């Protein structure tokens, strides 16, 4: 599905530009530049950008794939490596709090996903956590619930893992469009794995509505928050979500390969039967008992020795959230994506792009995805000119807007460069996937 980009609809959440009566209207570029300056000046999150390592030569719109480095990470890791590892060595498991870091850092992520303490644990990749969450969810369901609903447009790893989880638990996967999950759930549904925000289109799904429909059908709701946590409000506890997983290297800026997190609602923790019951999740891990006895609470989601360096980089990265209101983040995210769409509509030659990101705020995450002929080549050219987004096959340009460090001026610059690239590539010279 795609929506034409309309020049007639000005962005919401942006103040109207007053044009003096009788004056010649300023050219679109100038008008937009003044708007960007006004919006940046009034942005309550503007100072947060200084907590990141960024350069003004690049407009970084790929924080939904790899969040930027924050300034506290290097000094923290230097200390972790030189003192905690280098000097204290094995004593750090206790003295530096390494052993309990997965739960402690889970509790730092908890407020960003609307979870009370003791329900989030950090460790392993998102893929591994999807596996744990889905198998555990199905194990909680009665045997006659034979199907697992999976978001048909999901990021592939979730689908692959769900297939394997289904085989292991003797169930079958039924792919359904995320928006149809509520209608598809029935007496045969054990659980559904749904993405809060679609990674390709940026569509935001109705988490509270789908969760309650699943519950009404007697099924468990497993949510993937990779593209929502850190970009918009998530209320896992209030919405009664059963299990959830998410990534920390996207909007949480934890660094490449930073460990993911797993949420298990408190009321379900005693029934959480992990398919990967490693020794870290044991009730008495250092008892080294031959038999398994699960620990209590979030610790049950652990597997083996935590990836300490990545975990502590994430810990430092989470400092940027101190004092940040997620409501401000959402308001800025919508204003940024609105403004970017408005700039694109005003500057890019008509008919060259179609937005696959919903125009409605209620259905929009924090990215704008634009379909375009020769998208791969266009993105390469944008990157060469300092505007970094990414390309998703077959024809999608993806621009992620991280409200903590993206400015309205950046959105305008990205649209300008996009307009230049598309304007230059006319007629036979349309860029294609093979062109540099």
Of the pair 200, 416, the CB lying nearest ligand PLP is at: 200
Among 84, 158, 307, 315, binds ligand PLP (CB under 6 A): 158
Of the pair 45, 122, the CB lying nearest ligand PLP is at: 122
For 93, other C-beta atoms within 10 Å of its C-beta total 17
Q: Which stretch binds ligand PLP (CB under 6 A): 35-43, 119-127, 328-336, 417-425?
A: 119-127
Count of alpha carbons within 13 angstroms of residue 330, beta-carbon side = 15
In the complex, the smallest distance separating the C-beta of residue 126 from ligand PLP, rounded to whole angstroms, is 3
Q: Which stretch binds ligand PLP (CB under 6 A): 53-61, 150-158, 281-289, 305-313?
A: 150-158
- Is 307 one of the binding residues for ligand PLP (CB under 6 A)? no
Among 2, 58, 96, 127, binds ligand PLP (CB under 6 A): 127
Q: Which stretch binds ligand PLP (CB under 6 A): 44-52, 89-97, 152-160, 369-377?
A: 152-160
* C-beta separation of 300 from 281 below 8 A: yes
- Is 125 one of the binding residues for ligand PLP (CB under 6 A)? yes
Binding mask 211-250 vs ligand PLP (x if CB under 6 A, - otherwise)? -------------x-xx-------------------x---
Going by their DSSP bridges, the two strands 147-151 and 172-176 should be labelled as: parallel
Of the pair 224, 338, the CB lying nearest ligand PLP is at: 224
Count of residues engaged in binding ligand PLP, rule: CB under 6 A: 13
In the complex, the smallest distance separating the C-beta of residue 79 from ligand PLP, rounded to whole angstroms, is 26
State how far the Cα of 214 lies from the Cα of 194, in Å rounded to an integer.
Answer: 11
Of the pair 146, 181, the CB lying nearest ligand PLP is at: 181
Element counts in the chain: helices (H) and strands (E): 12, 14
In the complex, the smallest distance separating the C-beta of residue 81 from ligand PLP, rounded to whole angstroms, is 24
Among 155, 261, 340, 408, binds ligand PLP (CB under 6 A): 155
* C-beta separation of 79 from 308 below 8 A: no
Q: CB neighbours of 163 closer than 8 A, spacing ≥ 6?
A: 173
* C-beta separation of 303 from 295 below 8 A: no
Can you tell me whether residue 258 is helix, strand or coil? coil
224 flagged as catalytic: yes
State how far the Cα of 388 lies from the Cα of 379, in Å rounded to an integer.
Answer: 8
Among 98, 199, 263, 321, binds ligand PLP (CB under 6 A): 199
In the complex, the smallest distance separating the C-beta of residue 64 from ligand PLP, rounded to whole angstroms, is 8
Of the pair 127, 383, the CB lying nearest ligand PLP is at: 127
250 flagged as catalytic: yes
Distances (CA, A) of 166 to 38, 135, 162, 173, 315: 52, 8, 6, 6, 34
Can you tell me whether residue 248 is helix, strand or coil? coil
Q: Which stretch binds ligand PLP (CB under 6 A): 151-159, 205-213, 298-306, 393-401?
A: 151-159
| Among 171, 250, 300, 364, the one annotated catalytic | 250
Q: Which two tokens stand for residue 353?
A: 């792009």
Angle at 382 (CA atoms; ends 376, 387), nearest 5 degrees: 130
| Among 35, 203, 302, 398, the one annotated catalytic | 398
In the complex, the smallest distance separating the C-beta of residue 49 from ligand PLP, rounded to whole angstroms, is 24
Q: What is the largest CA-CA distance in the chain?
A: 86
State how far the Cα of 408 lies from the Cα of 340, in Å rounded to an integer.
Answer: 8
Among 119, 126, 280, 367, binds ligand PLP (CB under 6 A): 126
Share in percent of the chain as helix, strand, coil (round to 5):
40, 15, 40
395 flagged as catalytic: no
Q: Which stretch binds ligand PLP (CB under 6 A): 68-76, 154-162, 178-186, 292-300?
A: 154-162
State how far the Cα of 56 lies from the Cα of 295, in Å rounded to an integer.
Answer: 48
- Per-position b or e across 381-416, b if 16+ CB within 10 A of its CB: bbeebebbbbbbeebbbbbbbbbbbbbbbbbbbbbb
* C-beta separation of 282 from 292 below 8 A: yes
Write out the catalytic residue numbers: 155, 224, 249-250, 398
Q: Which residues of this chain interact with ligand PLP, rule CB under 6 A?
A: 125-127, 155, 157-158, 195, 199, 224, 226-227, 247, 260
């Amino acid at each position: 599905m795609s929506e034409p980009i309309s020049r007639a609809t000005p962005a919401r959440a942006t103040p109207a530009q007053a044009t003096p009566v009788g004056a010649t209207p300023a050219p679109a570029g100038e008008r937009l530049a003044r708007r960007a300056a006004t919006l940046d000046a009034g942005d309550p999150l503007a100072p947060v950008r200084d907590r990141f390592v960024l350069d003004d030569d690049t407009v970084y719109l790929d924080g939904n794939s790899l969040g930027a480095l924050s300034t506290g990470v290097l000094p923290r890791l230097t200390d972790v490596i030189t003192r905690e590892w280098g000097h204290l060595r094995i004593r750090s498991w206790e003295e530096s709090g390494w052993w309990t870091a997965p739960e402690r850092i889970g509790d730092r992520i908890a407020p960003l996903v609307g979870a009370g303490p003791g329900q989030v644990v950090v460790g392993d990749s998102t893929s591994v956590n999807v596996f744990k969450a889905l198998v555990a969810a199905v194990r909680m369901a009665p045997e006659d619930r034979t199907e697992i609903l999976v978001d048909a447009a999901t990021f592939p790893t979730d689908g692959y893992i769900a297939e394997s989880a289904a085989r292991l638990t003797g169930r079958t996967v039924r792919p359904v469009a995320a928006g149809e999950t509520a209608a598809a759930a029935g007496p045969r549904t054990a659980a559904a794995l749904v993405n809060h925000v679609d990674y390709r289109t940026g569509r935001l799904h109705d988490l509270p509505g789908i969760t309650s429909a699943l519950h009404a059908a007697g099924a468990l709701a497993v949510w993937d928050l990779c593209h929502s946590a850190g970009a918009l409000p998530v209320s896992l506890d209030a919405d009664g979500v059963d299990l959830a997983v998410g990534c920390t290297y996207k909007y949480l800026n934890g660094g490449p390969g930073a460990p993911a997190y797993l949420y298990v609602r408190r009321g379900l923790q005693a029934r959480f039967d992990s398919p990967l019951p490693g020794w870290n999740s044991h009730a008495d891990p250092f008892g080294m008992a031959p038999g398994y006895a699960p620990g209590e609470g979030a610790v049950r989601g652990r597997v083996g020795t935590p990836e300490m360096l990545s975990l502590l980089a994430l810990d430092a990265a989470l400092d940027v959230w101190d004092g940040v209101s997620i409501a401000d983040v959402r308001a800025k995210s919508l204003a940024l994506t609105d403004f970017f769409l408005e700039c694109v509509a005003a500057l890019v030659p008509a008919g060259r792009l179609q937005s696959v990101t919903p125009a409605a705020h209620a259905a929009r995450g924090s990215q704008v995805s634009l379909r375009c002929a020769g998208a791969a080549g266009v993105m390469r050219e944008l990157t060469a000119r300092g505007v970094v987004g990414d390309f998703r096959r077959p024809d999608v340009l993806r621009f992620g807007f991280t409200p903590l460090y993206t400015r309205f001026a950046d959105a305008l610059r990205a649209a300008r460069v996009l307009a230049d690239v598309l304007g230059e590539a006319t007629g036979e010279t349309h860029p294609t996937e093979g062109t540099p």
